[in-house]
Chain A
Amino acid sequence: MADPAINEYGIAIRRLYKIFGPKAAELVSLVEGGMSKAELNEKHGHVLGLRDINISMPAGGIQVIMGLSGSGKSTLIRHINRLIDPTSGEVIVGGEDVVKMSPDQLREFRRHKTAMVFQKFALLPHRNVLENTVYGLEVQGVARAKQVETATYWLERVGLKGFEQKYPNQLSGGMQQRVGLARALTNDAPILLMDEAFSALDPLIRVDMQTILLDLQKDIRKTIVFITHDLDEALRLGDQIAILRDGEMVQQGTGQDIVMHPADDYISSFVEHVNRGKVIRVGTLMTRGPADADLPQLPEGTLLDEAARRIIASGQERFAVTDAEGRPLGTIDMAAITRGMFTTHAA
């Protein structure tokens, strides 16, 4: 059931603008011409939600969209399944523009291509866990036996076996969100949209849920769009991270990119408190070049934390950094690792 078929549903968002207010369509050209959010609000009483968003999310990867509240991240994710209509722009999913779909096409698209997990869980309070989990399949009109079979499988995968007959009110927040996750996974859509899915949970349970998600992702290989305001969560989950501020894209890249080369002071201030040893990998800091064959080896994907621990334990000064096949790429020493862990701005 965990279908390892190749996921072809990448998402590309192009020149996306969203203005909230009755005359949005007329005002979009002004915003394209460079009018600021404050000016738009002052002169026309309209709120700029998103400005010129361009992003492509690779199929089968986790794209994190990060920002503080009011940055437009929840608005952005709702454009992917068009719970919010854009003022202008394109949202291409699997080669099709979601913005141009008719209501019927959109409904089919939501049924089969996307599934969503919500910050406030949004479970049906009058249905028990099993009935909540089958919802997506029920709406699709799948046979009941198949609904139950699929839902039971996913409930077990998220650790809710034995809770099928409970009502959402009887469960803790963490367990309710597992139901939300199982409901989304049961839909078996290639795209999983997660809107601050773990933000309402306690820190420990949040880390738990992140682990569950990462474990599942190894099997399911879905295109996951994950919204969060928490940089640690973003760095832990994201294959790619995009940072939004005031409806504008400030920086896109991998976690390492963002930590090592923050685009501006705003992002620097975010990144300052990050545990860099858990984000940066030795491959990024190594000195490229030949390595002596007798040096102990570290794979290039090793995190600095782990590398430091290994170096200290081994008593050696230098390590060879190797690629996935074990070929040496370069070398790294304790000094470089320490620098990497404690410099705020990469030179």
Chain B
Amino acid sequence: MDWFYNFPHMSDSSLRDLRKVIDDGFREFTRAWGGTFETIFEPLRQFLIHSERLMLATPWPVMLALVAAIAWFASRSWKIVIGAVITLLLIGWFDMWEDTMRTVSMIFVCTVVAIALGIPIGILMARSNRMQSVMNPILDVMQTMPSFVYLIPVVMLLGIGRVPGVIAVVIYAIPPMIRLTNLGIRLVDKDVLEAADAFGSSSWQKLKNVQMPLALPTIMAGINQTIMMALAMVVIASMIGVQGLGQPVLRAINNQYFTMGMFNGLAIVGIAIIFDRVSQAYGRRLQKHLEIVHG
């Protein structure tokens, strides 16, 4: 009755062999292809470096004015602009300006990559039910797999640094982008689509004139979610060498510096709130035509 109380499992030796075969195989693969992957991701690395350099080289008052201007044009709300400016002033006063700029730069790059990949994939998913049934489990894996697990192969392939950090963040943050693009397009009013068909729209014209504009509020919600999730990954990304607000937090964990952790943590929360309020207000403004309703 031993099998009844202890789950019968593979013998230890075959399990060990299995692991060894896979690990060796992957190590072979990284040795053979690591260079190629680095070349593939070189443009991404350049993008990261330049974006970070630009943000750090820009004098802080200019940066502050820029953020205020973006907040104003996106939200048209003084409350949000003032909130953003005060948050950034406090961050600077507590000497976290540089790390914050590094983090903002990385979030910016990650969001751009997530949008550039997520929207096309979301569109493909909305067009084909088969694509949707293939993508859905993949997205489930991406959202639930602990990020440390996919950090291992990424680091083995590309080493420690910014690029693997961005890849890890994008894997974690892209699913809402894809899902909400898909959902937004699928929810477009069938009557309006039929009208577009009746006037002889090509499928590109339908996408450009009808589906994307009507899905845009939902897609904006996806972008907002992606930014929030990317910020949540900042600390984990710092473990593989991504500079920014994550590194002081990591140091604070290791050395039990409570205040240091708290300050940097609050800085992350601060920029998260700025991103969130600005992008949400922008999303609402996109739907303005729906608000003024005939009496």
Tell me if A170 and B292 are in contact (CB < 8 A): yes
Q: How far is the CA of A136 from the CA of B210 in the complex (A)?
A: 13
Of residues A110, A124, A170, which shows the largest number of chain B Cβ atoms within 10 Å of its Cβ?
A124
Chain B contact residues, majority secondary structure: helix
Tell me if B290 and A140 are in contact (CB < 8 A): no
B194 within 8 A of A: yes
Q: What distance in Å separates the Cβ of A169 from its nearest Cβ neighbour in chain B?
A: 5
Tell me if A124 and B210 are in contact (CB < 8 A): yes
| Number of chain B interface residues as a range | 20 to 34
A126 within 8 A of B: yes
Within 8 A of B (CB), among A99-155: 107-112, 114-116, 118, 120, 122-126, 128, 135-136, 138-140
Q: What distance in Å separates the Cβ of A26 from its nearest Cβ neighbour in chain B?
A: 24
Tell me if A114 and B198 are in contact (CB < 8 A): yes
Binary A-proximity of B279-295 (CB < 8 A = 1, otherwise 0): 00000000001111110
B209 within 8 A of A: yes
Nearest neighbor of B213 in chain A, beta-carbon distance: A126
Q: How far is the CA of A107 from the CA of B202 in the complex (A)?
A: 7
Contact status of A126 and B294, CB under 8 A, knowing A83-B194, A108-B200, A139-B205: no
Tell me if B200 and A167 are in contact (CB < 8 A): no
Number of A-B contacts (CB under 8 A): 75
Q: How far is the CA of A138 from the CA of B206 in the complex (A)?
A: 12
Residues from chain B with Cβ under 8 Å of A111 in the complex: 199-200
Tell me if B200 and A122 are in contact (CB < 8 A): no
Q: What distance in Å separates the Cβ of B286 from its nearest Cβ neighbour in chain A?
A: 8
Q: What distance in Å separates the Cβ of A140 from its nearest Cβ neighbour in chain B?
A: 7
**A122 touches which of B195, B213, B290, B291 (Cβ 8 Å):** B195
Binary B-proximity of A259-303 (CB < 8 A = 1, otherwise 0): 000000000000000000000000000000000000000000000
Tell me if A118 and B194 are in contact (CB < 8 A): yes
Residues from chain B with Cβ under 8 Å of A138 in the complex: 209
Tell me if A110 and B197 are in contact (CB < 8 A): yes
Binary A-proximity of B47-91 (CB < 8 A = 1, otherwise 0): 000000000000000000000000000000000000000000000
Q: What distance in Å separates the Cβ of A197 from its nearest Cβ neighbour in chain B?
A: 12
Residues from chain B with Cβ under 8 Å of A118 in the complex: 191, 194-195, 198
Residues from chain A with Cβ under 8 Å of B294 in the complex: 169-172
Q: How far is the CA of A253 from the CA of B216 in the complex (A)?
A: 49
Tell me if A139 and B289 are in contact (CB < 8 A): no
B201 within 8 A of A: yes
Residues from chain B with Cβ under 8 Å of A193 in the complex: 198
Binary B-proximity of A162-196 (CB < 8 A = 1, otherwise 0): 00000101111000000000000001000001000
Nearest neighbor of A110 in chain B, beta-carbon distance: B200
Of residues B197, B290, B293, which shows the largest number of chain A Cβ atoms within 10 Å of its Cβ?
B197
B112 within 8 A of A: no
Contact status of A169 and B192, CB under 8 A, knowing A110-B198, A116-B198: no
B214 within 8 A of A: yes
Tell me if B200 and A107 are in contact (CB < 8 A): yes
A81 within 8 A of B: yes
Chain A contact residues, majority secondary structure: mixed
Q: What distance in Å separates the Cβ of B198 from its nearest Cβ neighbour in chain A?
A: 4
Q: What distance in Å separates the Cβ of B9 from its nearest Cβ neighbour in chain A?
A: 46
Nearest neighbor of B295 in chain A, beta-carbon distance: A172
Residues from chain A with Cβ under 8 Å of B205 in the complex: 139
Tell me if A116 and B195 are in contact (CB < 8 A): yes
Q: What distance in Å separates the Cβ of B220 from its nearest Cβ neighbour in chain A?
A: 13
Tell me if B214 and A122 are in contact (CB < 8 A): no
Q: What distance in Å separates the Cβ of A278 from its nearest Cβ neighbour in chain B?
A: 33
Tell me if B200 and A169 are in contact (CB < 8 A): no
Residues from chain A with Cβ under 8 Å of B209 in the complex: 124, 135, 138-139
Q: How far is the CA of A171 from the CA of B197 in the complex (A)?
A: 24
Q: How far is the CA of A170 from the CA of B200 in the complex (A)?
A: 27
Contact status of A169 and B214, CB under 8 A, knowing A124-B192, A139-B199: no
Nearest neighbor of B289 in chain A, beta-carbon distance: A167
Q: How far is the CA of A120 from the CA of B192 in the complex (A)?
A: 9
Binary A-proximity of B179-204 (CB < 8 A = 1, otherwise 0): 00000000001011011111111100
Closest 10 CB pairs of A and B: A111-B200, A110-B200, A122-B195, A116-B198, A167-B289, A122-B191, A136-B199, A107-B200, A126-B213, A120-B191
Beyond A126-B213, A187-B199, list 8 extra A-B contacts (CB 8 Å). Answer: A108-B200, A115-B199, A122-B195, A124-B209, A128-B289, A135-B196, A167-B292, A169-B289
Report A's interface with B, CB cutoff 8 A.
81, 83, 107-112, 114-116, 118, 120, 122-126, 128, 135-136, 138-140, 167, 169-172, 187, 193
* 17 contacting pairs across A/B (C-beta < 8 A): A81-B198, A83-B198, A109-B200, A114-B198, A115-B198, A118-B194, A118-B198, A122-B189, A122-B192, A124-B192, A124-B209, A124-B214, A125-B214, A125-B290, A139-B200, A139-B201, A170-B293
